[in-house]
Amino acid sequence: LQGETVRILYIHVPTAWLGMAGWSGIAVSSLTFLVWRHPLAMIAARAIALPGAAFAALCLATGSIWGRPTWGTWWQWDGRLTSMLLLFFVYLGIMALTRADDDRGGDGRIPAIYGIAGSVLLPIIRYSVVWWNTLHQPASGMRMGGSTLDKSFLIPLLVMAIAFTLLFVTLHLAAMRN
């Protein structure tokens, strides 16, 4: 029913997944840094921040582009949209905090605590369409009873998810190397 506009789902959905997965990586790396004090863990957390923020921003942009012809609006203060916007701001916050921590010669504990605290947004984003009946559609790709998407949509979506994941991992590893 959505015509050609539905094709943006092949960019929007993987970027949303990776925006959230990036923060999961920051939280795990931050926890690893705080518990075992492994210096590579904090480097990993810092390196995830920029690609994670980029993917969250792409998610928001493609969602707006998709929302205009589908819902008739560029933006709605919907539970999922607003919580994803907050995640983007939290990404910006950790990038600023790690830079400030580096400038003052900190040991990385404060950004690591922030990295763990920011993970509170992840279940809010994930379950927002279940908790609040708002504009954003419920989860349709990965559900307990199976996908509600037709295979003609699901297979390309999975291919794009794998491709975007490989891009994310490549960007992360390149940032860690730098």
Helix (H) or strand (E) holding 103: helix 79-103
- Digits of tens for pLDDT over the chain (178 positions)? 667 777 898 999 999 999 999 999 999 999 999 999 998 999 999 999 999 999 999 999 999 998 888 888 888 888 888 999 999 999 999 999 999 999 999 999 999 999 999 999 999 988 887 777 776 666 665 554 556 667 778 889 999 999 999 999 999 999 999 9
Calculate ∠ Cα 76-78-79, nearest 5°. Answer: 160
CB-based contacts of 115, cutoff 8 Å, min separation 6: 26, 27, 29, 30, 45, 94
Specify whether the CB–CB gap between 129 and 139 falls below 8 A. Answer: yes
Question: What whole-number distance in Å separates Cα of residue 49 and Cα of residue 111?
Answer: 11
Question: What whole-number distance in Å separates Cα of residue 151 and Cα of residue 147?
Answer: 9
